[in-house]
Amino acid sequence: SGSPWGRRSVAPWSPLKAMSPPTHLRRADGGKTPALSSDATLSAQPADFSKVGGVVRELDKAKYVGLLRRLIAQSKYLQNNPRLGILPEEKRAARIVMEELAPYSKEQGGPLIIEELEYSKGRSNLKVVYPGTSEKTLAFVGSHFDVVPADPSTWDHDPFELTEEGGKLYGRGTTDCLGHVALLTRFLSELGRTRPKLKRTVVVCFIAGEEGDDSGLGVDEVVRCGKLEEVKNGPVYWVDSADSQPCCGTSGMLSWSLKCSGRLFHSGFPNKGINSIELAMEACNYIQQRFYEDFPPMAQEEAYQFATGSHMKPTQIECAKGSLNQICPETTVSGDVRLSPFYEVDDVKASLERYVKELNDNDLEMLPTKGKWSKFVLEKGVMTQPGELRRGHVELKWQGDIDSFKLYAGIAVSLESEGHKALVQSFREVNGDVKPFSVNGSLPLVKMMQKQGFDIQLCGFGLMSVYHGVNEYCTIQDMRKAYEVLLRIVCLLEASSG
């Protein structure tokens, strides 16, 4: 049978009789339901390497490892967690990349246009352009200089020193994301060295402040200042996912807390207290049921192969400290919403705020209670002291602002894009098969850029199993394949440029 909280409930006590009617929520999709396919193809012919002239087809292991070693040696100073007071100096990594590319820079007679973009002291972004002959572009964005903190005492290897062992490269940032920084830097070095005549301009933008929810200094500021406007003329590959497959979708995230206030009283008299723990349980149930009715699963989520649709759940709970024979007066439940890219962040925020308002205004008396004596609204005969609540209260607090939530909004990439088709075909040609996927985790900034007209596609070549983890590593074999994927993308898009 259905939940007693469902809108179709006929239970006489159902609070949903007092609820406002369902809202007409804005979906981010007009109803068409494309589906992920491993058969997506840009060209009937495989990638033609003559399109990139003398660029070597294989990643130079010695040069790649040497460069990555220099980057990992700086990772101690690239750690980013503002909540812990840890701020990175991305300029250290940017300087290494600039030194690597300097022989091919315009200043030294080469083709590469290198521009350091520093919007906060020491927090460098780096834009590198290899000019083509047409207005069409191909961009690689999102590989970031900062890393999450690492505790050396929990690692088998020094996280701030590159260790090579059995084809694995250990160190903080190898998978997320200095391994990608080194990969793209070697790719740019080869373009600069061989100078192939390309129709498309290739743009790479390494970014600051990805791991710390920083705003106003990373790619958001780069975009705001118009420094990437030209890359709207072609696909933009966000190189910061994992597992060497095309990532086609992510979920958004909103963090919340519910502070439930009641009345402290002796536990022998539950009729004279308001149990904030029980209120928190029922308030969460009320809000979750309404959430799932307003944000149900959508066909697009299945088409994009998301493991789940949108969901809201508590993940932590804390209560006011007191004796076991006291009814707890205050309980806070915290959790998150993981939001499908086919719903809008503004809608879920407004909906949860409305649920809580209607609960406090009208529906508190209708919440189910435990047994005969528990109450969320005291009866008239119960005496209270000044300042004590006679009626329970629920307060919703967001753990972040709307701009932060929009920063992490989920994305569904365009499956009709030439960039998507080139990406899938390139992986298939390199690996023999391909498995596009979507993930319920979150990436910052990508939806913001998509809404501003960028054809965002997602890929990455590290390992999801060690993302942000102890003993993080990437493999030489994965990065060799990654380099070939990049080359094939360029070749396929060059052939499609006419």
Residues with catalytic roles: 146, 210
Which phi and psi (to 5°) does residue 487 adopt?
Answer: -65, -45
Write out the chain in H/E/C secondary structure: CCCCCCCCCCCCCCHHHHCCCCCCCCECCCCCCCCCCCCCCCCCCCCCHHHHCCCCCCCCHHHHHHHHHHHHCCHHHCECEHHHCECCCCHHHHHHHHHHHHHHEHHHCCCEEEEEEECCCCCEEEEEEECCCCCCEEEEEEEECCECCCCHHHCCCCCCCCEEECCEEECCCCCCCHHHHHHHHHHHHHHHHHCCCCCCEEEEEEECCCCCCCCCCCHHHHHHCCCCHHHHHCEEEEECCECCCCEEECCEEEEEEEEEECECEECCCHHHCECHHHHHHHHHHHHHHHHHHHCCCCHHHHHCCCCCCCEEEEEEEEECCCCCCEECCEEEEEEEEEECCCECHHHHHHHHHHHHHHHHHHHHHHCCCCCCCCCCECCCCCCCCCCCCCECEEEEEECCCHHHHHHCCCCECCCCCHHHHHHHHHHHHHHCCCCCEECCCCCCCHHHHHHCCCEEEEECCECHHHCCCCCCEEEHHHHHHHHHHHHHHHHHHHHHCC
How many residues are there in the chain?
498
Rounded distance between C-alpha atoms, residue 221 and residue 209, angstroms: 11
Pairing of strands 311-319, 330-339: antiparallel
140 contacts 129 by C-beta, under 8 angstroms? no
- C-alpha span between 88 and 337 (Å, rounded): 29
| Nearest-angstrom CA–CA distance, 295 and 290 | 9
Q: Indicate the pairing of strand 201-207 with strand 137-144.
A: parallel
